[in-house]
């Protein structure tokens, strides 16, 4: 079941769902808008020949109010908002329609697990033939919350729990790669 603005406001007021800092008009009829932070990561492709699942990826961090994404390019960004989901709630990260119509694809693997706490790292891809210039503080995506049939037996406690700022891939730490996660 997708949660309505009434339910979202109630959960935020009672503290069972945390989305902060929340600004006026963030809560939409069936979602909460999130804003773009000023912290970005770009793959450091000059120092890497390939990306594979077993090696740490090198990133260059950019801290700026504005960022321009060249055509057919990818970068990581984050939301200003920090979220904390209860153990019986999950969220889908969706790009705003107005942003998608510019040719900017927004993803975060599309999913926020129950029990997750932290800022949400976003994967941004410019599918347009022109550069796209973004500004920190602007609404970039929305969270659509879904109530689960019961609390998760094992809420999220993985490698991205508590993340602050934009966080690069940690796939190299997966158990399949010999890591612990």
| Annotated catalytic residue within 20, 65, 81, 123 | 123
DSSP result, the chain: -BPPHHHHHHHHHHTSSEEES--TT-EETTEEEEEB-SEEEEE-GGG-S---TTSPPPEEEEE-SEEEE-TTEEEEEEEEEEEE--TTEEEEEEE-HHHHTTTEEEESTTEE-TT-EEEEEEEEEE-SSS-EEEETTSEEEEEEEEE-SS--SS---STTTT--S-----GGGSGGGTS--
Catalytic (active site) residue 123: yes
Catalytic residues: 123
């Amino acid at each position: 079941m997708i949660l309505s603005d009434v339910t979202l406001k109630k959960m935020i007021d009672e503290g069972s769902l945390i989305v902060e800092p929340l600004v006026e008009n963030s809560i939409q009829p069936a979602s909460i808008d999130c804003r773009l932070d000023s912290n970005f990561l770009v793959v450091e492709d000059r120092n890497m020949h390939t990306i594979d699942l077993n090696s740490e990826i090198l990133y260059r961090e950019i801290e700026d109010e504005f960022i321009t994404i060249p055509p057919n390019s990818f970068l990581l960004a984050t939301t200003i908002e920090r979220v904390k989901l209860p153990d019986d709630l999950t969220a889908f990260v969706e790009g705003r329609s107005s942003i998608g119509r510019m040719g900017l694809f927004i993803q975060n693997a599309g999913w926020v697990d129950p029990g997750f706490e932290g800022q949400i790292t976003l994967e941004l891809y410019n599918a347009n033939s022109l550069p796209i210039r973004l500004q920190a503080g602007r609404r970039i995506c929305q969270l659509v919350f879904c109530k689960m049939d019961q609390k998760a037996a094992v809420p999220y406690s993985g490698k991205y729990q508590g993340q602050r700022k934009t966080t690069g891939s940690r796939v190299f730490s997966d158990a399949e790669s010999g890591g612990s996660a």
